[in-house]
A and B are shown apart, each in its own frame.
Chain A
Amino acid sequence: MENELSKEVIMEGLLYLVGEDGIKKGQLAEVLSISPEDTEVYLNNIQKRYEGDGFALELVNYGGLYKFVTKKAVYDYASRLFATAKASSLSQSALETLAIIAYKQPITRSEIEELRGVSSDMMIRKLQARNLIRDVGRSEAPGRPILYEVTEEFMDSFKLESLADLPEVNEYQEESEELFEE
């Protein structure tokens, strides 16, 4: 063996290779034959190291997949370098539908429609085509409607490590019970 690189440095190399696909903690542990605890430590070390100003990349964890991405400051220059088409943004109704699915998953189409007050068939198909949601089987309700949930792609698109990282929403609660008195 000519290399005497530490497992941590090799892990860094693997993270570079997997690129945008990212890699799960478990996979890294298996490939490097190290314990889950060590994997955790190494990942943290790499993450910390790259936080410094001397690095253009940062190690992120979106939906349990670790990957290197460029820091925001790189973007302006990258867009000058590459004449890439702007990544398609999401419409308000798409965001709203995604929010409902993410907070309430698994959820059926009719439940989504009840919450949005509009028919959502097309929207669901669009989101599915963009791989932001997927169907996860069927509900026991009459007609056995399809249940939907968000994908890893969704987690990646919104910088979420897990669903617990979803923005906190204000529960608009009533101070009194007025409503029930009439």
Chain B
Amino acid sequence: MSFNAVINEFDGPLDLMLHLIAEKKMDIFDLDMDLLCDQYLKYLEAMEAMQLEIESEYLVELATLIEYKSKKLLPKDETKLEDGYEEDPKEALVRRLLEYQKYKDAAVQLEDYHHERMLELSKPLSVFEENDDEDIRYNGNPNDLLKAMNRILRRLQLSRPIDTTLKKKEISIDDRILVIKARLIDFDNTFSFVDLIDDCHTLHEYIVTFLAVLDLAKNHILYFSVDDNDNIWLQKG
């Protein structure tokens, strides 16, 4: 027996069964379950011989087919009918195959539509510039921010302890972001930049903190505003 198609070409056990039914010209409305079961089994065996992995779904359906076959060999238990209605497994399988065939047909149509659609091109939305940053909340402009930062630096100048040491301690913006994130929990919803830098002692730390705030604002973790007195106010996002 030759196999015209490899199992990878099938989208599942139902697809394979439909292929076998078509190939053996079986009547789906009067399905020869024995023939289908034999063909199906042969197919899986051939796959195994070719050392192809058989997905578990195929085995589940095989079990159903074999169960049906074995049940037929047993004498019919007439009393069982009274237990209530139980769908004949063959009937159930045919129903599933027909339903599946329906969607396979639709998929062919849809593929055509999709192909046609691919030939139609359009251009991206024309965007108005001012809409670009509508989701970033802040009052004031970069100049306000600059002025406010200058004020903080002046304050540093004034509060600089006389016995300064020349120890250089580098901290990265990423590290500072982590520290700020951890400290955020203790802050009120709105707080000032001055609150945030009360653990800083050097210009380097001030600037890193400032850059960290900009980064947090970019990621919407913090929002900032600058008031008339050049105070930077921060708000949790």
Interface residues of A (CB under 8 A from B): 16-21, 58, 60, 67-72, 74-75, 78, 87, 89-90, 92-93, 95-96, 98-100, 102-103, 114-119, 156-160, 166-167, 169-172, 174, 178-180, 182
Other-chain residue from B55, B100, B118, B122 in contact with A116 (beta carbon distance below 8 A): B100
Contact status of A118 and B117, CB under 8 A, knowing A17-B126, A169-B102, A172-B102: no
Produce 1/0 per residue, B44-82, CB < 8 A to A.
000000000001010001000000000000000000000
Residues in A whose Cβ lies below 8 Å from that of B113 = 158-160, 167
Further contacts, 19 of them, CB under 8 A, given A19-B122, A116-B12: A19-B123, A20-B123, A21-B125, A58-B120, A70-B121, A92-B11, A95-B110, A99-B107, A115-B99, A116-B14, A117-B100, A118-B11, A157-B114, A158-B113, A159-B117, A160-B113, A169-B102, A172-B28, A172-B98
Chain B residues near A18: list those with CB within 8 A.
125-126
Interface-central residue, A60, A98, A160, A169, by most chain B CB under 10 Å = A169
> Do A159 and B116 touch across chains, with their CB atoms under 8 A apart?
yes
Tally chain B residues at the interface, Cβ within 8 Å. 43
Partner of A92, one of B94, B105, B107, B124: B107
State the CA gap A96–B101 with chains docked (Å): 10
Chain B residues with CB under 8 Å of A92's CB are 11, 107
- The B contact surface, by secondary structure, is helix
Give 10 closest A-B pairs by Cβ, nearest first. A167-B109, A118-B12, A69-B120, A95-B107, A20-B122, A99-B106, A117-B14, A75-B119, A158-B113, A172-B98
Given contacts A67-B122, A70-B120, A96-B11, contact A117 B96 (CB under 8 A): yes
B positions within 8 Å CB-CB of A: 11-15, 28-30, 55, 57, 61, 88, 91, 94, 96, 98-111, 113-126
For residue A176, give the distance in angstroms from its CB to the closest CB of chain B. 8
Sample of 13 A–B contacts (CB below 8 Å): A16-B126, A20-B124, A58-B120, A69-B120, A95-B110, A99-B110, A117-B14, A117-B15, A118-B57, A158-B114, A160-B113, A166-B106, A169-B105
In the complex, what's the smallest C-beta–C-beta distance from A23 to chain B, in angstroms? 10
Q: Which residues of A contact B55 (CB under 8 A)?
A: 118
Q: How far is the CB of A50 from chain B (nearest CB, A)?
A: 13
Residue on A nearest B122 in the bound complex, by CB: A20
Contacting residue for B114 out of A90, A171, A180, CB 8 A = A90
Picked from A19, A58, A116, the residue with its CB within 8 Å of the CB of B126 is A19
Asked if B14 contacts A60 (CB within 8 A), the reply is: no
Q: Is the CB of A100 within 8 A of B103?
A: yes
Q: How far, in angstroms, from A103 to B73 measured CA to CA in the complex? A: 39
- B124-A103 in contact (CB<8A): no
Determine if B125 and A170 form an interchain contact, defined as CB atoms under 8 angstroms apart: no
A180 to chain B, nearest CB (A): 8
In the bound complex, residues from chain B placing their C-beta under 8 Å from that of A160 are 113
Docked-complex contact A118 and B13, CB < 8 angstroms: yes
Residue of A nearest to B57 (CB): A118
Q: Which residues of B contact A157 (CB under 8 A)?
A: 114, 117
Q: Contacts A92-B11, A172-B102 hold; do A75 and B121 have CB atoms under 8 A apart?
A: yes
CA of A19 to CA of B121, assembled, Å: 10
A95 CB to nearest B CB, Å: 4
| Complex contact B107–A89 (CB within 8 A) | no
